Amino acid sequence: MKEEYRDLVLGVCGASSLRVGEKIQTLWSGYGEIVRLHLGGCDRPSVVVKHVRFPERAEHPGGWNTDRSHRRKVRSYQVETHWYQNYTTNQSCRIPACLAACSHGDEMLMVLEDLDGVGFGQRRTSVKDGEIKACLRWLAHFHALFLGVAPEGLWPVGTYWHLETRPDELEVMDDAELKAAAGDIDRILSACRFKTIVHGDAKLANFCFSPRGEDVAAVDFQYVGGGCGMKDVVYFLGSCMEERDCGKRVPGLLDYYFTELKQAVGEDVDFVALETEWRDMFAFAWTDFHRFLLGWMPGHWKINQFSKDLTREVLHKVCKTTQ
C-alpha cells in the first residue's frame, strides 16, 4: 500500500498501526480490488478499502473491452465516490459509512466501514423467503427515503444496463422487435411521475446479511442514480430466483415490497398512484434488463421463459401506444 494511502487510513481512524488483511474481491475487469485492513491503537478494529486502479488493458469476461466501456467504468467509480461522500441513509437501509475518499491520477481509494464488524458479516449465494424479504425491505425503505430526490452528482438514470450507456449491446441484439422497441421502453420508464434514487446493481451478491438473515446492508454504488424503483426490484428478484420460481413467487414478493414501501413513504405521498404506476412499470423494467442481456450475453441463465413472456406482454403494450 502506498505511503499516502496508509497515512490517510491511520489518520481518519486515529490508529497507530495498520496491517493489510485478506483480499475480499477483485473489481470487475481487473479495475482494482477490495481489501480488509486491520487496525491497532483505535476503537475500530478494521476497515474495508476499495482501491481502484485503471488498468492499461481491461480483461472483460464478456469481451466488451471498448473505450466506451472504460469510460463508463471510470464514471461509475466517480459516481460511487460522490455517493459515499454526499449521501446518507438510515438503519432501515443500511450502507457502510465512508470514512475517507481520495484520487491520485488513475487511482481512487474509498475507506469504508467494515460491515462484518457491525453485524452484517454473512453473504448468501442462495436465499430463503425471509432473506429475500429482508432485501426487498431494504429496497423499499431506500426508495422511500429518496422518493422525489434529484440524483445530483449521480447517474441521471441509474442502473448499469441503462440503454443510453449500452449502445454496443443494443447493436448486436438478434431480437429485432425488442431492439426496435428499446427506445420506447426506456422513454416509458423515464417518464414515470414517481422517481427515486435506485441502487442500480441490487443483486444478491451486493447485500450483506446479519447472522440469521433478518437484516441486510448494501454495498457497491457504482451505478446509483435516478429512476423507477422497479428497476432495482426486478434485478434483485432475477438475481436470486430460478425460472421455475418466478411465476409462483414473484406476485407475493411484489406485494410484500409494496407493503413495506407504503409503511416507509408516510401519509403525504399519494401511495395509490405510486403503487399503480410502479406495478405497471414492473414488466417494463424486467423487459428493459432482458433487452440488455440479449445483447451482452445471449446465453445467460437469466434469459428464460418468464422473461420472454413479460417481454411479449410489454411489446404488445408498446405497439398499441405507438400506433
Give the span between the Cα atoms of 240 and 263, in whole angstroms.
25
Q: Is the pTM for the entire model greater than 0.85?
A: yes
Query: 54: domain range?
Result: 3-117
pLDDT of residue 217: 98
Last residue of a domain, one of 70, 85, 117: 117
Q: What is the CATH number of the domain that holds 129?
A: 3.90.1200.10
* Section 239-256 average pLDDT: 93
Same domain flag for 69 and 166 = no
Local confidence band at 323 (pLDDT 50, 70, 90 cut-offs): low
For cell 467509480, what's the residue? 77
Same domain flag for 218 and 154 = yes
Instruction: Using DSSP, state whether 312 is helix, strand or coil.
Output: helix
Asked whether residue 58 carries a pLDDT value surpassing 60, the answer given is no
pLDDT of residue 300: 92
Residue burial 310-320, b: 16+ Cβ < 10 Å; e: rest: bbeebbebbee
Give the span between the Cα atoms of 162 and 169, in whole angstroms.
11
pLDDT of residue 64: 52
Same domain flag for 172 and 102 = no
Same domain flag for 244 and 198 = yes
Same domain flag for 192 and 280 = yes
- Whether residue 177 contacts residue 315, with contact meaning beta carbons closer than 8 Å, is answered with yes
Last residue of a domain, one of 64, 85, 117: 117
Same domain flag for 79 and 194 = no
Same domain flag for 133 and 36 = no
Same domain flag for 94 and 158 = no
Local confidence band at 67 (pLDDT 50, 70, 90 cut-offs): confident
Q: What's the distance, Cα to Cα, between the start and end of the chain in Å?
A: 60
Same domain flag for 145 and 108 = no
Last residue of a domain, one of 84, 117, 150: 117
Long-range contacts from 28-34, C-beta under 8 angstroms, 24+ separation: 28/73, 29/55, 29/58, 29/59, 29/60, 29/61, 29/65, 29/69, 29/73, 30/55, 30/58, 30/59, 31/55, 31/58, 31/73, 31/77, 32/107, 32/108
pLDDT tens-digit map of 109-142: 999 999 999 999 999 999 999 999 999 999 999 9
Same domain flag for 158 and 32 = no
pLDDT of residue 270: 97
Mean pLDDT of the chain, nearest integer? 94
- Whether residue 31 contacts residue 53, with contact meaning beta carbons closer than 8 Å, is answered with yes
Q: What is the CATH number of the domain that holds 96?
A: 3.30.200.20
Same domain flag for 70 and 46 = yes
Same domain flag for 253 and 183 = yes
pLDDT tens-digit map of 144-174: 999 999 999 999 999 999 999 999 999 999 9
pLDDT tens-digit map of 174-194: 999 999 999 999 999 999 999
Q: How many structural domains does the chain have?
A: 2
Strand partners, 34: 25, 50
pLDDT of residue 28: 85
pLDDT tens-digit map of 4-52: 999 999 999 999 999 999 999 999 888 999 999 999 999 999 999 999 9
* Section 297-302 average pLDDT: 91
